[in-house]
A = this chain, B = another copy of it.
């Protein structure tokens, strides 16, 4: 089955999933003897093997960076088998995976991922932002689609090692960071549908620039009712691949209508759920002059975003008086509650709608200035800098904490 190297189809040489299994057995010599679930190996950072690239790539100049197009010199891999558990973690040169064409990830979407960022300041100090939340969510995703779970702390230790090795790839400039993408895929080589007997956990890293290099640019949303992103009893609360492919076509449709993203509305009431692949916040003015910051509750249809959680936490600290968000003079009320498009439209008409924004790891905060809904556009207030009073205040505090400029226990040091 030797393939010519001159062939340019994506075919690998010499091994598929059988070798993955063989490896699991080999790696876990002692584990192989174990037969009970609990005695299977978990991820063991002390077993990490590092093989550095002999040919480091040229680090591209910042102005050429496009989100998710450039990857660093190395990647982290941890194989898993049902019989042996987690095998030897390795940091190796970034390069293609060899997958059998019957591999379950390619047929049944047995894949999930996370998104995190590492920041490097002018003194070379490198930090992560609340990474334990990503580890916990990744394990919840794994359980939901019957992929193997793992010790999140041990996996995070390995991710830190990868970041340390590739730290020169992390831009120091304002708004720049290293986007970290952990992925878990099912690699069983049979086309029956079941929990896979082998899997691969891996991490790749991509240096990224600011999402809005020229200041915030509010986006127009298409209030989408003909497609749904999530449903009660579905998988919308998990960061699994299956939630993403179905959203691409509706996004194309929205773009053809002149909108940037989908505003996913649910049910006959047209409840607001998420925007594109971000969580959603709305700010209403109340009769007493205070502002209500609202986001939909975690009812199974909402991804529990790290940025969502951070925005809520900062806003609640402001509301309780424990913290004063920079530049925010209003009192805040913070609500996790359902909001319908009728609520939003009526508030806009009555002048009680203050702002709306999406939150996520990639863009952090993404202001909204318009919603196309039932054939008409609902206009959302936006101030001169593209933001609103709450998003601006939260963004300033949040980015300060993410980059380490504002000290907080959310920032986890990777390189001192």
Residues in chain A within 8 A of chain B (CB atoms): 1-3, 5, 8-17, 19-20, 22-23, 26, 53-55, 66-69, 71, 75, 77, 79, 90, 92-102, 105-111, 113, 143-146, 179, 181, 183, 185-187, 190-195, 200, 202, 204, 206, 225-228, 231-235, 240-249, 251-252, 277
Nearest-neighbor residue (CB-CB) of A1 within chain B: B93
Nearest-neighbor residue (CB-CB) of A192 within chain B: B68
Question: Known: A55-B1, A226-B233. Is A100-B96 also a contact (CB below 8 A)?
Answer: yes
Nearest-neighbor residue (CB-CB) of A25 within chain B: B8
> Whole-angstrom distance from the CB of A48 to the nearest CB of chain B?
14
Which single member of B26, B77, B232 contacts A228 (CB below 8 Å)? Answer: B232
Q: Which residues of B contact A93 (CB under 8 A)?
A: 1, 3
| Complex Cα gap A315–B200 (Å) | 46
| Complex Cα gap A90–B187 (Å) | 24
| Complex Cα gap A314–B215 (Å) | 64
| Complex Cα gap A98–B101 (Å) | 10
Let me know if B195 and A248 touch, CB within 8 A.
yes
Q: Which residues of B contact A144 (CB under 8 A)?
A: 246, 249
Let me know if B12 and A13 touch, CB within 8 A.
yes
Nearest-neighbor residue (CB-CB) of A225 within chain B: B233
Q: Which of A5, A13, A246 has most B Cβ within 10 Å?
A: A246
Q: Which residues of B contact A16 (CB under 8 A)?
A: 10, 95-96
Q: Which residues of B contact A94 (CB under 8 A)?
A: 1, 101
> Whole-angstrom distance from the CB of A2 to the nearest CB of chain B?
8
| Complex Cα gap A90–B2 (Å) | 15
| Complex Cα gap A75–B1 (Å) | 12
Let me know if A245 and B145 touch, CB within 8 A.
yes
| Complex Cα gap A225–B231 (Å) | 13
Let me know if B249 and A245 touch, CB within 8 A.
no
Question: Known: A183-B106, A244-B109. Is A69-B101 also a contact (CB below 8 A)?
Answer: no
> Whole-angstrom distance from the CB of A360 to the nearest CB of chain B?
11
Question: Known: A1-B53, A96-B16, A102-B68. Is A187-B10 also a contact (CB below 8 A)?
Answer: yes
